[in-house]
Structure 1
Amino acid sequence: MAEKDDTFPSESKRRNPLRVFFNDSRLLFKMDELGLEIARIALPAALALTADPIASLVDTAFIGQIGPVELAAVGVSIALFNQASRIAIFPLVSVTTSFVAEEDTVTKASPEAQESKNLEMGSIINNENEKLIPQNESKESKYKTETLGCSVDVAVFKHEKRKIPSASSALIIGGILGLLQATFLISGAQPLLNFMGVKSDSPMLKPAQQYLTLRSLGAPAVLLSLAMQGVFRGLKDTKTPLHATGVNGAAVAHVISQYLISIILLWRLMEQVDLIPPSLKYLQFGRFLKNGFLLLMRVMAVTFCVTLSASLAARQGPTTMAAFQVCLQVWLATSLLADGLAVAGQAILASAFARNDYDWATATASRVLQLGLVLGLVLAVILGVGLQFGARLFTKDVNVLHLISIGTPFVAATQPLNSLAFVFDGVNFGASDFAYSAYSMVLVAIFSILILFILSSSHGFIGIWFALTIYMSLRALAGFWRIGTGTGPWNFLRR
């Protein structure tokens, strides 16, 4: 009887990729090595990522006390500014995090880097052969001390900065994009607001234009600081960006705080990474442009759906737009808490894929997805109860409050979907699966835009939120499909 050839596994021996969603679920809250690494990256990242949305929430609450027209005007301006910012910087931040994590992992694994590390950590003890090494030939500073009666020379090595080309590239691109965004928004404020549905005779136009122009002055600092945050995330350091964003305080003086954040991050980054490129080839702009273009397609699709929903709400009048602004800012601020898990998943997975460590990649994907679902369920309960009572912090207008009460169930119920969608993004970015992320999101956006137009025209405010719920469901499904079918970089799950 011939022996069975096990070179290729039979279908019965193939693993089901869906197991990744339930893998080691009993370890969900365990503070083992993986749990600690996720917490160390995710918690500071979540706090830093929500700093700007919380600042927008504070603006919303403060201006909402003035009146619904001003509240609606700020809502349109924030939606427009966020659209431009995400299109300009999100692709750069995402690819930077993955590239830096990969380059840092490869650098640490190289023999040269390991030798340098050993020299930095160790001390050279030269007792009997001291005379063989003249003092004037040593490049290191030497200090002589007495240890147990023996004369000891200790060589002190300066900390060597890491060579990470993607860090230099990210800063150059981020600075240029920031200047372009500021010029674009300031010079085109009125026509852009008209496009958003705020016409020349609208009472929202003047306050919206003033807010957008002022906010745009900080665009160069915003994009530069976000580019540096992408570098720190790739280095798995999310505490430094958190310390820098702490200068926001109560979100007073957006522009000044953003420039302070950029200065702090640049100072700290220069201590760790050599940012002076030896040549243009070192910067690897081609790699950034290739993957950045894919993510540019994706982020345009993502943000256009949200911006379109704000535009459709603005066309229904100040009351509808004011209520939509409150619901949207709460929706975004809480949902972005899951982005901390996405950042952790992306950084850890990029390092794991660089090492070809698929077991660690599987465990990481499982843990962050499970934590994302739990976080979404907790946020759903908190918002379902809290927003009903907290809406008066944003406005006293009874008509606006009525519409907020209608939108609250949607804001709460979509939290698990939002959390999973954000975490799936981080997981797929960590696998450098940028092409699938881009093309799938474009298809999701096309369908969602059609739904937005249909439901907003037939059901108004509630129709917009139904459409956004469908949109987030499709985003989560797209992320689930790639991993659940074990295709692309996740084909190892089938083996």
Structure 2
Amino acid sequence: MTQAPTTAKPTARRHDREILALAVPAFGALVAEPLFVMADSAIVGHLGTPQLAGLGVAAALLTTAVSVFVFLAYATTAAVSRRVGAGDLQAAIRQGMDGIWLALLLGTAVLVAVLLGAPGLVSLFGASETAAPYAETYLRISALGIPAMLVVLAATGVIRGLQDTRTPLYVAIGGFALNGALNMALVYGAGLGIAGSAWGTVIAQCAMAGAYLFVVVRGARRHGASLRPDAAGIRACAQAGVPLLVRTLSLRAILMIATAVAARLGDADIAAHQILLSLWSLLAFALDAIAIAGQAIIGRYLGAGDTEGARTVCRRMLTWGVVSGVVMGVLVVLARPVFIPLFTSDPVVEDALLPALLVVALAQPVCGAVFVLDGVLMGAGDGRYLAWAMLLTLAVFAPAALMVPALGGGLTALWWAMTLMMLVRMATLQLRARSGRWLVAGATR
């Protein structure tokens, strides 16, 4: 009776150290990503409400264009970490290179599609006549950075799978600093307005991609992994990513529906919604740091055949996720008097923003659980279940969100619908985690 706690405590401490060693650097890297959009929002917001509303529409479109391919990072992390757990570093990096080549192909295709369809995409989102020109300008210029951002996703997956989250942190810090400096110089110094913000972001994104490629290529040469594109390997990466692509498309559809509904509520509401989405992304990426650690650790444990270790570390990460969500929610409430003036001085936007901000704060513990369980199942390669679960979530959210303007609800009601969406996700992920069906051992799933 007295031995079990003695054994459990060292095991818990070991898992805590393992989680923190990967999650803390991942936190910095992940927070830096939404800070790109937040920096743009803060700088462009002082140009005027139409400019900020235009940025809100363009940023949602760009985020969708890039984020639907987040499987380039997530699937690569899971696959590479399994190979690491099995002790085959050469195969791990070779698989990562296939992902990078796939990212270049997809990025080029998306760039062409966005450039050709920019006016129609902006119109589809219901941007007002005053906001639409700014949205088109930002969208056309920023689209040039899409191939670089997809390369960043794939290369980040390789490095995380190798159990290294420090390198993404260093690259993200450098990219954020460069982006902020260029935005200030081009928007105000050069007087380019919203176009300057877009160019600054593109340049920073390309610099980040170059840094990642340098690191991955150096590692490939060290371990004797080929750098040439392999058609079969690229095809295998694409096939493995299909379920996660479905999952991500469903999630992006949720966010696009939310933005479209907010746009139809008026310029003040879409401007406030853009600020909330920036904050939501910041909090999501911060909480997702534990999920990123989960992807790498779970993949490594399963690759080494240790299913019990994977189950134990899953439970520990879930505790970390919920507690972190509580802390994030409290910080949002305490920081609101400082946070809101950073993005707008328009009292109408502030009135729409404040009550919805409190809803965001209340939802954070649920978000913490969702992101951790999502990361665990991704690390296990359980993409098919994640796809079906997100399709179900979309089916619940869409009618709830579309009813908001029909019933005369405002931005706060829309964010209550977002909270409902997260509760549905938590329920589906909890069911899978408890079933144990995701615990499949081996170098490949």
- TM-score interval w.r.t. the shorter chain? 0.7 to 0.9
Deviates more, 1:89-98 or 1:223-232: 89-98
Could you tell me which amino acid in structure 2 is paired with residue 67 of structure 1?
A: G
Residues 336 and 351 of structure 1, relative CA distance in 2, 3 Å threshold: same
Secondary structure of the residue that 2:243 maps to in structure 1? Answer: helix
Looking at structure 1, the residues matched to 431 and 123 of structure 2 have their Cα atoms a distance apart, in angstroms, of 39
Q: 1:169 to 1:315 in 2, by over 3 A?
A: same
- Aligned with 2:394 (options 416, 420, 445): 445
Quick one: which amino acid aligns to residue 189 of structure 1?
A
Measured in 1, the distance between the counterparts of 2:255 and 2:262 equals 11
Deviation beyond 4 Å, 4+ runs, structure 1: 23-30
Q: Report the residue type matching 2:63 in the other structure.
A: N
| Aligned residue in 2 for 1:280 | 230
1:395 maps onto 2:324 in alignment: no
CA offsets per residue over residues 241-298 of structure 1, 9 Å max, x none? 11112222053321111111111111111221245257836x5334323321111111
Q: CA RMSD in A?
A: 2.3
> Which range moved further: 332-341 or 248-257?
248-257
Q: Does 1:300 align with 2:281?
A: no
User: Are residues 1:266 and 2:213 paired?
Assistant: yes
Q: 1:419 aligns with which of 346, 358, 368?
A: 368
Q: In the alignment, which residue of structure 2 is the partner of 1:247?
A: 174
Match of 1:174 in 2: 103
The one of 77, 80, 83 aligned to 1:103: 83
* C-alpha distance after superposition, 1:403-422 (max 9, x if no partner): 11121111101111112111
Give yes or no for contact 1:92–1:170 (8 Å, CA) kept in 2: yes
Distance 2:380 2:66 in 1: 24
Q: Deviations over 1:301-334 (max 9, x none)?
A: 0111011101111122211101111111111111
Secondary structure at the counterpart of residue 70 of structure 2: helix
Q: Distance in 2 between matches of 1:264 and 1:54?
A: 19
- Taking the aligned partners of 2:206 and 2:351, their CA distance within structure 1 comes to 39
Q: Deviations over 1:386-435 (max 9, x none)?
A: 12442011111111000111211111011111121111110011111111
Q: Does 1:256 align with 2:203?
A: yes
- Aligned residue runs from structure 1 range 362-377, under 5 A: 362-377=311-326
Partner of 2:36: 55
Structure 1 residue corresponding to 2:269, chosen from 305, 313, 320: 320
Structure 1 contact 28–367 (Cα < 8 Å) conserved? no
Residue identity over aligned pairs, in percent, reads: 27
What does the per-residue CA deviation read over 1:230-251, in whole Å, with 9 as the maximum and x for residues that have no partner?
1001101111111112222053
The aligned residue for residue 483 of structure 1 is 433
CA distance in 1, matches of 2:6, 2:55: 45
Letter in 2 for 1:234: G
The reply to whether residue 206 of structure 1 matches residue 133 of structure 2 is: yes
Pick from 401, 411, 415: which aligns with 1:461? 411
User: Take 1:99 and 1:335, find their aligned partners in 2: how far apart are those partners?
Assistant: 23
The structure 2 residue matched to 1:227, chosen from 154, 165, 170, is 154
CA contact (8 A) 2:265 2:405 kept: no
CA distance in 1, matches of 2:319, 2:123: 43
Q: Give distance in 2, aligned partners of 1:28 and 1:375.
A: 22
CA distance in 1, matches of 2:53, 2:397: 24
The aligned residue for residue 354 of structure 1 is 303
Distance 2:270 2:114 in 1: 21
CA distance in 1, matches of 2:437, 2:6: 22
Q: Is the 8 A contact 2:356 2:412 kept in 1?
A: yes
Contact preservation (8 Å) 1:456, 1:462: no
TM-score with structure 2 length normalisation? 0.88
Amino acid in the other structure paired with 1:395? T
Amino acid at match of 2:93: I
Tell me the distance in 2 between the aligned counterparts of 1:468 and 1:314: 16
Most deviating of 453-462 and 66-75: 453-462
CA distance in 2, matches of 1:80, 1:421: 24
| Aligned position for 2:19 | 38
Q: Distance in 2 between matches of 1:390 and 1:278?
A: 47
Alignment of 1:9-24 (within 5 A): none
Higher helix share: 2
Match of 2:145 among 212, 215, 218: 218
Q: Which residue of 423, 426, 432 corresponds with 1:473?
A: 423
CA distance in 1, matches of 2:7, 2:245: 35
**Is the Cα–Cα contact under 8 Å of residues 53 and 332 in structure 1 kept in the other structure?**
yes
Give a deviation string over 1:174-222, Cα, whole Å, max 9, x none: 11111112211122111001111125xx100111111111211111111
2:94 and 2:226 in contact (8 A); partners too: no
* Higher Rg of the two aligned structures: 1
SS of equivalent residue, structure 1 residue 216: helix
Partners of 1:334 and 1:314 in 2: how far apart? 23
Distance (whole Å) between structure 2 residues aligned to residue 477 and residue 28 of structure 1: 31
Deviation at 1:105, TM superposition (A): 2.1
Matched, 1:185 2:114: yes
Q: How many residues align?
A: 413
Q: Which blocks of at least 5 consecutive residues in structure 2 are unaligned? A: 183-199
Q: Distance in 1 between matches of 2:7 and 2:172?
A: 34
Instruction: Determine helix, strand or coil for the equivalent of 2:21.
Output: helix
In 2: Cα distance, 1:240 partner to 1:335 partner: 21
